[in-house]
Structure 1
Amino acid sequence: MGEDQNQQNHEENGVKEAPHVAVVMVPFPAQGHLNQLLQLSRIISSYNIPVHYVGSATHINQAKLRLQGWDPLLEPNFHFHDFPTPHFHSPPPDPDASVQFPAHLQPCFEASSELREPVAALLRELSLTVDRLIVINDSLMGSVVQDFVGIGNAESYTFHSVSVFSIFFFFWESLGRPALEGVKIPEDVPSLDGCFTLEFFKFLVFQHEFKKLSSGNLYYTSKLIEGPYVDILREEEIDGVKKKGWALGPLNLVTTYSDKTSNPGDKCLEWLDKQAPKSVLLVSFGTSTSLTDEQIKELAIGLERSGHKFIWLLRDADKGDIFSEEVRRSELPEGYEERMKETGMGVVVREWAPQLEILGHSSTGGLMCHCGWNSCLESISMGVPIAAWPMHSDQPRNAALVTQVLQVGLAVKEWAEREQLVAASAIEKAVRRLMASEEGNAMRKKAQQLGNSLQRSMEEGGVSRKELDGFIAHITRQLGF
């Protein structure tokens, strides 16, 4: 959907220009979180609302470097504000840790609290230039934006970067797991054991205390995917308060990648152009997971034995500062990369790659991933089924949503077996199930239908578009302080 058409549609829907309102985006300093609020910034700025995206210089540069699909520097309503990067230790990830949560990022997370003062100063400055100042902060940045309460014309909205399904289960379990009509509850809800480190859990609890200051909740999802769970969170009082909520997603550019626009310099997209439709498996474990050397070798062997073509984005987890020293180069079996290249069976990509474009390519027929929520939504919105291999955080419950509720994926590894090595034979079997079985074809068909519905939902009158227009109408409502 082009920006000119986008703006025209907004005006037809009765959403007028709102120069009296400005939005400040405050993302959490981890790749998935940075990208989500950057994409939301693009959408909100298309309504002719000024958007200010703030963070440390290091993480602003990271967001710019990895952005796909648009150039914010060409948007007159979009502004970056990069503050001096707080000092923090940036160690490499530990793939052999007993808990796979990226504990090496904890110093970066803690240092983000130092942004409170410069963010408060910016809010005070901007508040003098508009009638209403809207703060949209990641749920893990509540402490950073807390000073908005002292600004008379400011209000905040908490952006939830995880699935509503995972949020719902926190709430449902706190109520004693009651029976709920019209809501599908998986038979075995994955436990939270092994999902977080104690240090991060304490950080999470601390940030949760500031949610009471916000005026509402923004959920990164679509009602087409998580409608019943969204409805429950909207209707129930959480922490004793009932607040407005909107399902704003998917935020990525929900358009199918055109094979004709392949970047000549991008080897994986060039290679995809030569493959048969729906024949390639993308293997990607995101930016917060590091596999052990032993697991990498088993994965390599399993992929080769499956006989199916693949693109493997083989990278270590991000460090807190991605611009610091080089990361570990994972070792593959001797001659593996050369053999895959010579036979044309696979491509191993060790640098940053355009995952969204790869998923949108007509040759891509499956995704093996960690079930980070960004990857899940990107894959589903592009109509690609998932081989689920959760690692930490909300990922086990996202995997349950994908495999048991939506039925657009299968499990490579169950969460109860998280401490076990996944053998090459199990990987081979999972790939063949997803890529070349009746079961996999049914999942692919269902994923394509859901992806098509999601794309239509962003058009005028669609369910996702109505949610977005509803939020814009709310923040640009008549002033009545």
Structure 2
Amino acid sequence: MATSHENPSPSSSSSSVVVVMVPYLAQSHLNQLLQFAHVVSSYNIPVHYVSSTPQISQVKSRALNPLHQLTKIHFHGYEIPTLPSLPQTTDPCSKTNNPEDEIRRNKASKHLREPVTALLRSLSPNARRLVVVYDVLMSWVVQDVVSLPNSECYSFHCVSVSFGLAASQKFNVPIGHFPSLESCYPAFLLDDIASQLKLSTSDFKAQSVHNSCRAIEGSSIELLANDQSKLNQKIWAVGPLQTTTDSKVLRDEDKCLLEWLDEQEAKSVLYISFGTVTTLSDEQIKEIALGLEQSGVKFIWALRDGDELDDLRNEKEGRRSSQVPDGFEERMRGMGMGMVVRTWVPQVKILEHPSTGGFMSHCGWNSCMESIAMGVPIATWPMQSDQPFNALLITRVLKVGVAVMEWEQRDELVTSSMISGAVRKIMASEEGDEIRKRAVEMAEAVKRSVEDGGDCRLEWDSFIAHITR
């Protein structure tokens, strides 16, 4: 992660600038803003990170950053009402939680408006400038910041720049047929996103920060930057935000995973994970298990149910145990072929390991960025939201992955033969070798961007110079 930098602004002291980070209540959003908090704090600027109490505990426990980085950030966890759980779908083909889970998350976030406003008002009198960096899905929560005379707003976008351009319908992004937003998002969430974007752009006139980089999305970033410049607005592409990890913070079970990887051949292991909000049906899990066994490829499979909003309630009530076929785990372990892991795993550590040769993923943007940065090709299996677009970006534009399933097949059970075919293609074929070569080349470009003088570091310096001007 970032080391301490000199303040690039010679005309002002950064100590008079205070930054507040307000992430959305989902792990991938929480993690991206936590990593950006580390970047900003590395320039010796005070950073306050705000969320609900369970989410603060969750994101800190899952962070791979050294402890001294966590202690440089001021965490503020607030209690919010626990909303009742709603029934989950029993559709055997279901790959994600019901939309009601996202409704709970969305409604819960609204309860942060009052404590966040109180925090901002307490920090404002002691700062020359109060900088609020907020997830665009939290625009409603931070809306009172406009009443503070020394405040500035910056919207943080956890999706790809290409997706943002395509969704706005302002530009043609060359990926072929663009999945309809209505097929990717529940109607209530589309309406909420539209209203929050309007609030952010029209009322706040916020400038924007994006977890992307020119090595991956150069043409899209230029399109957006040119469009925003007409409005006298700047954008910053500050990704990738986590390119190194600290092995000293690993748990014992994580060390066992990495020790097993140490024993495998280079690029021979497939990593499988579908993110933090996906809950697979038992029938779909069985097909994945059969497909992995049929492929003959070694694997690490992170098999967890999707996160609940209140993890304290989860610990008390317990979680459903995802079912693999009888004897599958024991057989795979006994053959030295693979491991099924049901706890949180250090994804970046697995992806950066030289034995990891592929990643079967739901194509959340955070996972895409991490995989590309590590040179690991992706077997795409989108589940919802921006993921169908990201899958097309990976397979058709960047050409660093293969499809397990197409979005048109989203209501069908993904069969073991589809899974094994995609796994063999990406892990053991000439086409897979070419894909991996492109992925490695792109990773080298990303690596150069985070070195001193690279595009990513220049974006960090530019953002810090701007807020400390």
> What is the TM-score with the length of structure 2 in the denominator?
0.93
Deviates more, 1:106-115 or 1:27-36: 106-115
Find the aligned partners of 2:90 and 2:306 in 1 and give their Cα distance: 9
* Cα-to-partner distance string for 1:294-345 (whole Å, 9 max, x where unaligned): 1111110000110010000001111111232322111111100000010010
Residue identity matched to 1:406: L
The 8 Å contact of residues 101 and 391 in structure 1, kept in 2 or not, is answered as no
What's the CA shift for 1:74?
5.4
The 8 Å contact of residues 113 and 141 in structure 2, kept in 1 or not, is answered as yes
SS in structure 2 opposite 1:19?
helix
Alpha-carbon spacing, 1:296–1:12, altered in 2? closer, same or farther (3 Å): same
Find the aligned partners of 1:187 and 1:249 in 2 and give their Cα distance: 26
Find the aligned partners of 1:99 and 1:352 in 2 and give their Cα distance: 19
Residue identity matched to 2:427: M
Q: How many residues align?
A: 461
Of 270, 273, 280, the residue aligned with 1:284 is 273
SS in structure 2 opposite 1:186?
coil
Of 156, 166, 170, the residue aligned with 1:169 is 166
* Cα-to-partner distance string for 1:196-251 (whole Å, 9 max, x where unaligned): 1122222222322221214300011011111111111122259x955211101011
What's the CA shift for 1:79?
0.3
Alpha-carbon spacing, 1:236–1:419, altered in 2? closer, same or farther (3 Å): same
The 8 Å contact of residues 94 and 281 in structure 2, kept in 1 or not, is answered as no
What residue in structure 1 maps to residue 66 of structure 2? 70
What residue in structure 1 maps to residue 143 of structure 2? 146
Residue identity matched to 1:340: M
Of 37, 44, 53, the residue aligned with 2:40 is 44
1:122 correspondence with 2:119: yes
Find the aligned partners of 1:16 and 1:56 in 2 and give their Cα distance: 33
Alpha-carbon spacing, 1:392–1:152, altered in 2? closer, same or farther (3 Å): same
What's the CA shift for 1:87?
2.9
What's the CA shift for 1:99?
8.3
Find the aligned partners of 1:387 and 1:16 in 2 and give their Cα distance: 48
1:225 correspondence with 2:216: yes
Which runs of 5 or more residues in structure 1 are unaligned? 179-183
Q: How many percent of aligned residue pairs carry the same amino acid? A: 48
Deviates more, 1:10-19 or 1:349-358: 10-19
1:342 correspondence with 2:334: yes
What's the CA shift for 1:264?
4.5
What residue in structure 1 maps to residue 83 of structure 2? 88
What residue in structure 2 maps to residue 454 of structure 1? 446
The 8 Å contact of residues 373 and 447 in structure 2, kept in 1 or not, is answered as yes
Find the aligned partners of 1:95 and 1:37 in 2 and give their Cα distance: 34
* Cα-to-partner distance string for 1:127-159 (whole Å, 9 max, x where unaligned): 111100000000000011011111000011000
Which runs of 5 or more residues in structure 2 are unaligned? none
Find the aligned partners of 1:281 and 1:257 in 2 and give their Cα distance: 22
What residue in structure 2 maps to residue 305 of structure 1? 294
Find the aligned partners of 2:250 and 2:141 in 1 and give their Cα distance: 41
The 8 Å contact of residues 124 and 148 in structure 2, kept in 1 or not, is answered as yes
Find the aligned partners of 2:88 and 2:239 in 1 and give their Cα distance: 31
Of 292, 295, 319, the residue aligned with 2:308 is 319
Alpha-carbon spacing, 1:52–1:2, altered in 2? closer, same or farther (3 Å): closer
SS in structure 2 opposite 1:200?
helix
Q: How does 1:146-295 map to 2 (within 5 A)?
A: 146-171=143-168, 173=169, 175=170, 185-212=174-201, 213-236=204-227, 241=231, 243-252=233-242, 254-255=243-244, 264-266=252-254, 267-295=256-284
The 8 Å contact of residues 134 and 156 in structure 1, kept in 2 or not, is answered as yes
What residue in structure 2 maps to residue 442 of structure 1? 434
Residue identity matched to 1:161: C
What's the CA shift for 1:189?
2.2
Find the aligned partners of 1:20 and 1:358 in 2 and give their Cα distance: 40
Deviates more, 1:215-224 or 1:190-199: 190-199
Residue identity matched to 1:51: V
Alpha-carbon spacing, 1:463–1:372, altered in 2? closer, same or farther (3 Å): same
The 8 Å contact of residues 17 and 48 in structure 1, kept in 2 or not, is answered as no
Residue identity matched to 2:36: L
What's the CA shift for 1:257?
8.1
Alpha-carbon spacing, 1:265–1:401, altered in 2? closer, same or farther (3 Å): same
What's the CA shift for 1:416?
1.1
Alpha-carbon spacing, 1:131–1:102, altered in 2? closer, same or farther (3 Å): farther
SS in structure 1 opposite 2:424?
helix
SS in structure 2 opposite 1:323?
helix
* Cα-to-partner distance string for 1:383-402 (whole Å, 9 max, x where unaligned): 10000000100000001111
> What is the TM-score with the length of structure 1 in the denominator?
0.91
* Cα-to-partner distance string for 1:33-63 (whole Å, 9 max, x where unaligned): 0000000000100000000001111111111
The 8 Å contact of residues 9 and 465 in structure 2, kept in 1 or not, is answered as no
Of 388, 395, 398, the residue aligned with 1:406 is 398
Find the aligned partners of 1:170 and 1:328 in 2 and give their Cα distance: 35
Residue identity matched to 2:378: I
1:475 correspondence with 2:464: no
Residue identity matched to 1:303: L
